[in-house]
Each structure stands twice: as structure tokens, then as C-alpha cells.
Amino acid sequence: MASDSPIGIHDLSFATTEFVLPHTALADHNGTQIGKYHVGIGQQSMSVPAADEDIVTLGAAAAAPIVARHGSDQIRTVVFATESSIDQAKAAGVYVHSLLGLPSAARVVELKQACYGATAALQFAIGLVHRDPTQRVLVIASDVSKYELDSPGEATQGAAAVAMLVGADPALVRIEDPSGLFTADVMDFWRPNYREAALVDGQESITAYLQAVEGTWKDYTERGGRKLDEFAAFCYHQPFTKMAYKAHTHLLNSCGHDTGKDEIARGIGQTTAYNAVVGNSYTASVYLALAALLDQADDLGGRPIGFLSYGSGSVAEFFAGTVVPGYREHLRTAEHREAIARRRPVDYAGYRELHERFFPGDGGDHPAPAQTTGPFRLAAVRGHKRIYETRPPGLSHSQFTTT
């Protein structure tokens, strides 16, 4: 029976990496004035995965608190969104399904369209819940952004995962109709199968993003969406946080609104805190912005917020959500701040070693050094198979058990 109840984000949790590289260390290495990073792109530091971390361990770490709080009986679907996939056939979410002990009576799929993938996953989840309001869908957005050393994109790297539980009568955000959609065939950012690091045309990417902002808003308003001044805040995809400022300025300009600093800050000022210290998390980015907003803002209960999800190549969507009264009782603010605070600083040499590390593709037995203190780790690649481990709380590295 189809649902007449509101559907949206019932719970949200995020995880990031073991290590962090401050942009001061990057600037010291390459002789760049730190203002180019802190002001020019709006970044303070970037999360760096340990040798035994990847999109699966991050995704599982983000989703585990949701399963612990709500159980798994109603989770019939896991949708894993990523653009840094580890396999051309098997969904990364299948590993997460196993690590979290989810029921076998479930579907698991992986979605890809650059940084837009998590919004596709969210909309997919809403459709499933509308058809069967008794079920909940676990949406996971997990990515490790990687560019070549000493390239222009190096300073925007990052890694994180956001997990969202989507269901009827949500506790956090009710997602609304309509959506404004936009697609254009552009080569602003891409990663062929034979490359570990992405290719990017920085200026073309900014132009394509701003074109998508205008295109999605036009479609959204033509379909009867809210007026611009109704929104309490806006969550943008943030390849670097300064891009959110560019995008919001462009949207206000295109609508003939004031673009003063106060107006820009009112719209997005509380959405950039996590992205500024995590770096680009690709599919997770716009929902990391949502987490930052909900964790910092005064009570937003009953107020609408706008979402602009952009994925290079390009596909974009603008949609609205209303924050549910009483949402603050369900936030994970302390846990989110701890996820960022617990990262261990790494110097440039250590970061470079991690950046260049890879598993040989010869099918041999290649263990990963035990570096992460998180609940899940990539133990080895053995016989072309990725072997993951889980660790009960309080156990040391030597007490990991293989699953």
C-alpha cells in the first residue's frame, strides 16, 4: 500500500578517516601562501585514509550507529553511492551488509554519477518507501577523492561517508516534491577505468556547476517549487567550500536577490564547517553540509532548506526538505565532532606514502598494515579478494577478527 505519510531522512551519521593533513603542511611543502587554501578555496585540512581504510570501512563506520539505534529488521534495501568504487561488478554495499550483519532478505545496489550519486540514492529510497511505508532504506554515500600529487586538485582531496536512514514519518527532514533537474554532457571531471586519480578541468568544472545551478532552479520553479526567500538555508555540493559561496551567489544573482556577505552567510554559513576540515567527499559532500547545518544552527524545526546536488559530467538536482520539529533530540552532534577531532595529524611525507600506496594486482596475499583505530578495516587483498575485519569495542589491533 502506497504511503500518504511524509518520507525523508529519519537518521543521519557520518564517519571520516584515521588521519588528517593540515593545509599548512601542504603549503609548507609546495611553497604556497596559506591564504590560497584557507581563503581561496576555503579549506583548512583534508582527511587521509589509513592503509587499511577505504569506502567500505568508512561506509560501515557511518552506518553502524544507525543500525545500533534502530535495528535492522525494517531495512530491506541498502543503496551505496560512490564514485571511487572498488569493483566493477560487486557493490561495495554488499561488504557493508556483511560487516553490519544485516538480514539476508535485502537488496543491495551501488549507484554512480560522480558526486550526484547520493541524491539519486535518496530519491530511489523515497520511491521504495512510498511503495511500502513499512520498510526503511539505508543510503550510504562514501568516497575517497584522489588527485595526482602536486596537481591543482591535490589541495581539495578528502574522504568521508554519510549514512542516512530513509523512511516514512522521518525524525530529521521531510523531503518534498518537486525536484528541479539538469543534465549536460561536459568533460569537467572524469576518471577512466585505467586511472587511480581523477582528471579535472578546474575552470570548466566551475562553469558547468554554475550552469547546473541555474538549470535546476529554472526547472524547480517551473514545476511549482518554493520561492527563494522561503528557505532558511541551502546545502550545496562542496568540492571545496568556496564553491558553495560561488554557487549561492550565482543563484541569488540569477533571481535578482541581494548578494551581500550577510545574505550569503545567512544561506550557507553554517553548512561548510565539516567540509572545510574533511575536504571533498564527493557523493557525501552535500549531506555532510546538511549534518553541519543541523548540528550548528538554532532550531530549524518546521523550516524549509534547499539542496543542490551536482555531479560532474554532469547531472544536478535541486530539491527542498522541511526540518522536522523536535529533530534536535535525534542528532549525533557529539559523535560527529568526535569523528573529526579523533583524526591523527600526518606530515607531508606520511601523507605522500599513503597516497602512493596500492595493492598489487597479481592475486597474491597482500596484507594491509593495521593503522586504523576504527571499528572496521581492510585486512588484505588475497587471491583478488578484499578481506575485511571487524573489531568489537575495546579490543586492540591484534584482536581483530576476520569476517
Asked if the model's pLDDT at residue 2 lies above 90, the reply is no
Residue finishing a domain among 267, 293, 326: 326
Give Cα 72 to chain centroid, integer Å. Answer: 22
Whether 121 is in a domain gets the answer: yes
Residues 126, 28: Cα–Cα separation, whole Å:
46
**What average pLDDT does this structure show over 173-189?**
97
Q: Are 197 and 147 in contact (CB under 8 A)?
A: yes
Whether 188 is in a domain gets the answer: yes
- Based on the fold, state whether residues 163 and 296 are members of the same structural domain: no
- Percent of the chain past pLDDT 90, that is, above it, reads 93
Whether 1 is in a domain gets the answer: no
pLDDT (0 to 100) of residue 394: 53
Whether 2 is in a domain gets the answer: no
Spatial CA neighbour of 56 closest among 90, 5, 12: 90
pLDDT tens digits, residue range 221-265? 999 999 999 999 999 999 999 999 999 999 999 999 989 999 999
pLDDT (0 to 100) of residue 3: 62
* Strands 304-311 vs 233-236: parallel, antiparallel or unpaired: parallel
**What average pLDDT does this structure show over 32-58?**
98
- Based on the fold, state whether residues 145 and 243 are members of the same structural domain: no
Whether 34 is in a domain gets the answer: yes
**What average pLDDT does this structure show over 164-186?**
98
Spatial CA neighbour of 170 closest among 8, 329, 2, 301: 8
**What average pLDDT does this structure show over 291-303?**
97
- Based on the fold, state whether residues 155 and 180 are members of the same structural domain: no
- Based on the fold, state whether residues 151 and 241 are members of the same structural domain: no
Residue finishing a domain among 311, 326, 341: 326
Phi and psi for 130 in degrees, rounded to 5?
Answer: -60, -40
- Based on the fold, state whether residues 41 and 168 are members of the same structural domain: yes
Catalytic residues: 83, 115, 237
Whether 291 is in a domain gets the answer: yes
- Based on the fold, state whether residues 189 and 168 are members of the same structural domain: no
Whether 146 is in a domain gets the answer: yes
- Based on the fold, state whether residues 146 and 185 are members of the same structural domain: no
Residue finishing a domain among 300, 326, 352: 326
C-alpha cell of residue 130: 512510498
Asked if the model's pLDDT at residue 402 lies above 50, the reply is no
Give strand pairing partners of 107. 77
What CATH code is carried by the domain that includes residue 258? 3.40.47.10
- Based on the fold, state whether residues 288 and 343 are members of the same structural domain: no
Cα angle 293, 298, 303 (rounded to 5 degrees) comes to 75
C-alpha cell of residue 217: 532552479
How would residue 166 be classed by pLDDT, with cut points 50, 70 and 90? Answer: very high
Residues 193, 311: Cα–Cα separation, whole Å:
18
pLDDT (0 to 100) of residue 198: 87
Whether 383 is in a domain gets the answer: yes
CB atoms within 10 A of CB 331: 17
Q: What's the structural domain count of the chain? A: 2
- Based on the fold, state whether residues 267 and 121 are members of the same structural domain: no
**What average pLDDT does this structure show over 352-361?**
96
Asked if the model's pLDDT at residue 398 lies above 80, the reply is no
- Based on the fold, state whether residues 102 and 31 are members of the same structural domain: yes
- Based on the fold, state whether residues 303 and 349 are members of the same structural domain: no
Spatial CA neighbour of 132 closest among 322, 5, 320: 5
Spatial CA neighbour of 42 closest among 253, 207, 263, 269: 269
Asked if the model's pLDDT at residue 86 lies above 60, the reply is yes
- Based on the fold, state whether residues 159 and 12 are members of the same structural domain: yes
C-alpha distances out from residue 73 to 5, 25, 77, 105, 329, Å: 20, 46, 11, 10, 23
**What average pLDDT does this structure show over 157-167?**
98
Which residue segment(s) compose the domain that 315 sits in? 175-326
